[in-house]
């Protein structure tokens, strides 16, 4: 098993297509096949089913995927850490759920970085379950997420909240009717949001489009039209220009988020600085 095999497996699990994975990795399709076969031989299990145009993860492949992603993250962190001048820079690896990066967190982190002279930053986007593993295993120094982990040895600081509003390209339609349309997009804003969404809209059809990336939902609306819940901070231009319209009868859902770190970290001073900075500065729009 080597890093190239892991990268190939993760990319193939994302694209579900040998040709697309090969193109993304700048290798031949036969090389993709060889790497996957060698990885399966090393592990002694089948990771993929290879029906034509229908590549799926096996049960073993599904279990192995988060481990492969974790190993790649650790490898990348090791490369970056050993490549730094230890006397001048401290690497701070920051993980966050996808939708928080979309909602303006990356701009907040970039603003913080501009105030620092002695750190380098590594930014990671992961699902919340993977972030838990990353912070516990030490491949990231801090995580920003929607839930407070109930794990010994971790500290969670509330540093802000997002104001999520229902917006649409359609005018003068109530929220229930919008959610019954096939162009309603459900964004994964975390478990608490999902529960409040289900409580406020109990009898709507199951949404046909679900995404983890809020940016994908926004791009869909701008390209094809539709409705979705988005953070107000990320759509200020679209609201100002009347490209998107707030749905007046829909409840606003506030989503608190937390900075999580290990209590045993050696980087507590830097982490306290970034927690203070983000806590004092609301998330800006992604475009500033």
The CATH number of residue 72's host domain is: 1.10.10.10
Strands 119-125 and 90-96: parallel
Is the pTM above the cut of 0.75?
Answer: no
83 and 128 together in one domain: yes
User: Contact 117/160 with Cβ under 8 angstroms?
Assistant: no
Q: Which CATH number do you get for residue 192? A: 3.40.190.290
Domain endpoint, select from 76, 98, 119: 76
- Of 20, 50, 76, the residue that ends a domain is 76
Of 27, 50, 76, the domain-final residue: 76
Q: Are residues 234 and 182 in the same domain?
A: yes
At 138 the pLDDT is 84
Residues 141 and 272 in one domain: yes
Q: Is residue 285 part of a domain?
A: no
In a 10 Å sphere around its CB, with 0-12 CB exposed, 13-18 middle and 19+ buried, how is residue 231 labelled? Answer: buried
Buried-exposed string 179-188: b where 16+ CB fall within 10 A, e elsewhere: bebebbbbbb
Domain assignment of residue 136, yes or no: yes
Phi-psi region of 204 (alpha: psi -120 to 50; beta: other; left: phi over 0): beta
Do 190 and 248 belong to one domain?
Answer: yes
Domain for residue 94, yes or no?
A: yes
The verdict on 177 and 233 lying in the same domain is: yes
Per the domain annotation, does 71 fall within a domain?
Answer: yes
CATH of the domain at 106: 3.40.190.10
Q: Is residue 101 part of a domain?
A: yes
Q: What is the pLDDT of residue 52?
A: 63
The answer to whether 58 and 49 are in contact (CB under 8 A) is yes
Indicate whether 108 and 60 sit together in one domain: no
Any domain includes 259: no
**The predicted structure's pLDDT at residue 91:** 85
Tell me whether residue 83 is in a domain.
Answer: yes
Residues spanned by the domain of 113: 79-152+264-280
- In this structure, are residues 83 and 261 in contact, taking their beta carbons and an 8 Å threshold? no
Residue 157 lies in a domain: no
pLDDT at 288: 45
* Ramachandran area for residue 140 (φ above 0: left; ψ -120 to 50: alpha; else beta): beta
Taking the C-alpha atoms of residue 75 and residue 91, their distance in angstroms, rounded to an integer, is: 14
Do residues 50 and 110 both lie within one domain?
no
> What's the CA gap between 270 and 125, in Å, rounded?
20
DSSP H helical segments within the chain, as ranges?
3-15, 18-25, 29-43, 59-82, 98-100, 106-114, 128-137, 175-179, 191-200, 214-224, 236-240, 268-280
CA distance 185 to 226: 7
Domain count, the chain: 3
146 plus 88 within the same structural domain: yes
Do residues 69 and 189 both lie within one domain? no
Q: In whole angstroms, give the CA distance from residue 241 to residue 256.
A: 28
184 and 62 in a single domain? The answer is no
| pLDDT, one tens digit for every residue, the chain (288 residues) | 688 898 899 988 888 888 888 888 888 888 899 999 989 988 999 999 887 667 889 999 898 988 888 888 777 766 666 655 545 678 899 999 888 887 878 888 999 999 988 888 888 888 888 888 888 888 899 999 988 887 788 999 998 888 999 999 999 899 999 999 999 999 988 888 999 999 999 988 999 999 988 889 999 999 999 999 999 888 999 999 999 999 999 999 998 899 999 999 989 999 999 999 988 766 555 544
167 and 180 co-located in one domain: yes
Query: Do 51 and 12 belong to one domain?
Result: yes
Per this entry, what is the length of the chain?
A: 288
């Amino acid at each position: 098993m080597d890093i190239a095999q892991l990268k190939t497996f993760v990319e193939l699990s994302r694209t579900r297509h040998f040709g697309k994975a090969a193109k993304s990795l700048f290798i031949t399709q036969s090389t993709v096949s060889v790497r996957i076969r060698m990885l399966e031989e090393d592990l002694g299990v089948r990771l993929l089913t290879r029906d034509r145009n229908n590549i799926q993860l096996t049960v073993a492949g599904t279990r192995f995927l988060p481990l492969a992603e974790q190993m790649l993250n650790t490898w990348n962190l090791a490369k970056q850490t050993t490549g730094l001048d230890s006397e001048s820079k401290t690497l701070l690896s920051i993980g966050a759920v996808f939708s928080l990066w979309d909602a303006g967190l990356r701009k907040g982190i970039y603003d913080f970085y501009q105030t620092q002279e002695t750190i380098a930053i590594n930014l990671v986007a992961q699902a919340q379950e993977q972030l838990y593993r990353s912070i516990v295993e030490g491949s990231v120094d801090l995580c920003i997420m929607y839930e407070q982990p109930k794990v010994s040895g971790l500290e969670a600081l509330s540093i802000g909240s997002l104001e999520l509003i229902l917006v649409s390209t359609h005018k003068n339609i109530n929220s229930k009717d919008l959610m019954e349309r096939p162009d309603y997009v459900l964004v994964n804003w975390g478990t608490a949001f999902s529960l409040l969404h289900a409580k406020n809209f109990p009898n709507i059809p199951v949404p046909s489009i679900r995404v983890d990336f809020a940016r994908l939902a926004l791009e869909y609306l701008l390209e094809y039209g539709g409705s979705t819940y988005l953070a107000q901070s990320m759509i200020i231009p679209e609201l100002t220009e009347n490209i998107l319209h707030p749905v007046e009868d829909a409840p606003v859902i506030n989503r608190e988020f937390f900075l999580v770190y290990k209590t045993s970290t050696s980087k507590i001073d830097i982490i306290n600085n970034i927690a203070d900075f983000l806590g004092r500065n609301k998330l800006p729009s992604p475009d500033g």
